[in-house]
Structure 1
Amino acid sequence: MYVLIVGAGQVGQMIAANLADTHDVAVVERDPELADEITYTYDVLSVQGDGTELETLRDAGLERADLVVACTDSDETNIVVCGTAKTASETFTIARVRRRTLLNTWEGSRGAFGVDFMVCTDLLVAQTIFRISGFPRAQDVETFAGGLVRMAEFEIGPESPLVGKRVEEADRYDSMTFAAVFREEQLIVARGDTEFRADDRIVVIGSPHSVKEFAMAMVPDTTSSTDDVVIVGGSEIGFQAAREFEAHGFEPRLIERDQERAREMAEALPDTFVMQSDATDTDFLTREHIDEADIVVAALDSDEKNLLVSLLAQRVGVDRTVAIIENTEYTDLFEAVGIDVAINPREETAEEIVRFTRTDQTEKIAMLEHDRAEVIEVELDDDSALVGREIAESMEGLPDCVVIGAISRGGDLVTPRGTTVPRAGDHVVLFVDATVLDEVSAAL
């Protein structure tokens, strides 16, 4: 596949890095320094110029492009890039936007603006925040097979009863599979004799009920309630997060410092209690009983502010904090100082876009640990190496670092066992080490 990316910011670079080894990639970037940098960093064609101009796109190979991805930091520019590409080609176009109003307009008329698919970053992040909120200690939660399957990544704390146990001892869930363990720089495929250690990150795949039950067992003294949600910051992400919680029947609290923005939020969010104040004021946090919140989401306009608010929330006694970070280099720092979950909007966007470069059978992907591994949903056809044979037999021809986590068959969940025989039309959710992803995709 020939992929033309317009915009060499963090999203563009993440997509280029993911695709450079397996696809032909060209990147268009206005900034000459960034254009040079991406040439030396990745094995891609770099074209310095304006992606809204047809000649620039042609210089980058528009005529043979299978996919054009417009991911600059400007919504309007991205839409114009897609429209321009459509004037001279039939390539599939993807536009990254931050404003949900643009997404709503596009959804009212699919294909509008010359955009075949639109990714709304702020909405993606809001949905991620909501998914993670319901699972104690979850670092990541994704939904597969139309909601039938959950994938979750958890961190094992030193107080967890899992510490010192083997997978075979912990595996008491009928509809859940232990997929893998991340231990420092190691990726360990979960086997029966794999022993859990403090600070391990484990990946499980299964029914929503079983994954939730497992999450509660990991931290026995933690309630499953997320009734009291506090969102700090009336940014677009903060606003969308509040809307997402409202849509699921919650009544979150939102703190916004700017009086005018707070008024706007109060008018637009009927089921959200909006407080106009400074969330770094510890007296205010104490007075408003923020310490009683089940989760605090820091969604301010800078990484530094989000870090400060998260630390203050922990100081007053909040059990769980989620912080938005724009700079990917801060991820390890946030986690090192004890922030429970750090969400990068650019990573969420890149993940959503990359799935369009996979096989036609790939329905969804989730990248883990900065793309060290992926969980993918694949619809099997008659030619798949898995179809018509027991899993124990068919897996012998695949790399060891592959785990079949769940199977959706006609809307029913099938928990895979060695004797299970996958069929054509099944939706299979697999954990795959990123280094063997191409080999596995070809076999499936």
Structure 2
Amino acid sequence: SVFKADDQVYFITDRKGVDELYKLTGKKKEAMKNVMILGGSKVGFKAARDLCGKKFNVKLIEKNKEKAFDLADILPNALVINGDGRNVELLEEESLESMDAFIAVTGNSETNIMSCLVAKSKHIKKTIALVENMDYFQLSQSIGIDTLINKKLLAANNIFRYVRKGEVVALTRLNNLNAEILEFEVKQESRMNGQVIRDLDFPRNAIIGGVIRNGLGMIALGDFEIAAGDRVVVCCLPQAIQKIERLFL
């Protein structure tokens, strides 16, 4: 493959390779410390709680006054602000431009998208918006928002795990791409057990990205032998899924 300008490329690497990838792609690794969350929904609350637990500096903006006071009581390590996040002046007063990430999870998709666009205009490194309309996923890259989240899609991914053949333990779709990442657990009786990757009749529109063995992630090249208990991460196009599933039966 030949890379071209504006291509969107996904890499799989171990932790040791991350710095080298940044050099290769000309990207700069920047620390994330200050996060602003718009919306005190269940998603917003859990995000704030988890980020505070990891020592991030969190500001949470909630429109409902009573709810804002409740959130302030249960999130002592976050700064909870009662205000309308659609108000650009409010965001600026709360030092939006000093944030490393902006997460919009109100109950209104359009509000989430527009506020993320405001954040992007202030050169915020990472923007995340919760949306209900799946049509917005096709626009995510063109409108400049880094990540879109859809609760129905997340639920569907979990459901699909149980209707897939083979021992699928995780599944996700790449944002704005017609591709899926599947994680299979290799059972003792699986035809994959004991197979060397180069000898597999693997579809051309699929690739094994890595293997997790005994909790350790490894990059799996052609001479790698798959064993029972391995969790194999596969990136593939939809038309290859059935053939891959049969390999893991």
User: What is the CA deviation profile of residues 337-371 of structure 1, one whole-angstrom value per residue up to 9, with x for unaligned ones?
Assistant: 21222111111111112101123522211222568
SS at match of 1:206: coil
CA separation of 1:433 and 1:220: change in aligned 2, threshold 3 A:
closer
2:92 is the counterpart of 1:260: no
Distance 1:315 1:249, change over 3 A: same
Query: 1:198 offset after TM fit, Å?
Result: 2.6
Per-residue deviation, 1:324: 0.9
In structure 1, stretches of 5+ residues that fail to align are: 1-193
- Give yes or no for the alignment of 1:201 onto 2:8: yes
User: CA distance change for structure 1 residues 209 and 293 in 2, over 3 Å: closer, same or farther?
Assistant: farther
Out of 232-241 and 355-364, give the one that drifted further.
355-364
Q: Counterpart of 1:59?
A: none
* Whole-angstrom CA distance in 2 between matches of 1:382 and 1:259: 57
Q: CA deviation at 1:403?
A: 1.0
Bigger shift: 367-376 or 305-314?
367-376
Q: Distance in 2 between matches of 1:332 and 1:242?
A: 28
Is the CA contact (8 Å cut-off) linking 1:402 and 1:431 kept in structure 2? yes
Rg comparison, structure with higher value:
1
Asked if 1:404 corresponds to 2:208, the answer is yes
CA distance in 2, matches of 1:388, 1:266: 55
1:352-431 equivalences under 5 Å are: 352-359=158-165, 361-369=167-175, 372-394=178-200, 397-431=201-235
Aligned equivalents of 2:64 and 2:26: distance in 1?
Answer: 38
Contact 2:138–2:176 (CA under 8 A) maintained in structure 1 = no
CA distance in 2, matches of 1:272, 1:209: 33
Runs of 4+ with >4 A deviation: none
CA shift digits 1:95-145 (9 cap, x unpaired): xxxxxxxxxxxxxxxxxxxxxxxxxxxxxxxxxxxxxxxxxxxxxxxxxxx
Q: Which letter does structure 2 place at the counterpart of 1:411?
A: G
Q: Distance in 1 between matches of 2:238 and 2:140?
A: 25
**1:179-238 CA-partner distances (Å, limit 9, x unpaired):** xxxxxxxxxxxxxxx222232222222334535763576453451x11000001112221
Q: Are 2:53 and 1:247 aligned?
A: yes
Task: Check the 8 A contact 2:137/2:176 in 1, yes or no.
Answer: no
Correspondence list, 1:39-188, <5 A = none
Contact preservation (8 Å) 2:187, 2:193:
yes
Change (3 A) 1:321 1:243: same
Inter-partner Cα distance in structure 1 for 2:24 and 2:68? 39
Could you say which residue in structure 2 is the equivalent of 1:278?
84
Residue 210 of structure 1, aligned match among 8, 17, 39: 17
**Residues 412 and 203 (structure 1), Cα distance of their counterparts in 2 relative to 1, 3 Å cut:** same
Residues 1:335 and 1:416: Cα distance change in structure 2 (over 3 Å): closer
| Residue number among 345, 352, 377 corresponding to 2:151 in the alignment | 345
Between the aligned partners of 2:117 and 2:218, the Cα distance in structure 1 is 42
- Find the counterpart in structure 2 of residue 48 from structure 1: none
Structure 2: distance between partners of 1:200 and 1:234:
35
Quickly say closer, same or farther: Cα 1:279–1:299, change in 2 above 3 A. same
Correspondence for 1:180: none
CA contact (8 A) 1:362 1:377 kept: yes
Superposed CA RMSD: 2.3
Structure 2 counterpart of 1:433: 237
What TM-score, normalized by structure 1, do the two folds share? 0.52
User: What is the CA distance between 1:389 and its match in structure 2?
Assistant: 3.4
- Answer whether contact 1:379 1:427 (CA < 8 A) is retained: yes
Tell me the SS of whatever aligns to 1:285: helix
- Greater RCO structure (CA 8 Å; 6+ sep): 2
Asked if the contact 2:195/2:226 (under 8 Å) is kept, the reply is yes
- Counterpart of 2:11 in structure 1: which amino acid? V
Q: How many residues align?
A: 248
Which TM-score applies when normalising by structure 2? 0.88
Counterparts of 1:213 and 1:234, CA distance in 2: 38
Give the deviation of 1:315 after TM superposition: 2.5
Q: 1:274 to 1:292 in 2, by over 3 A?
A: same
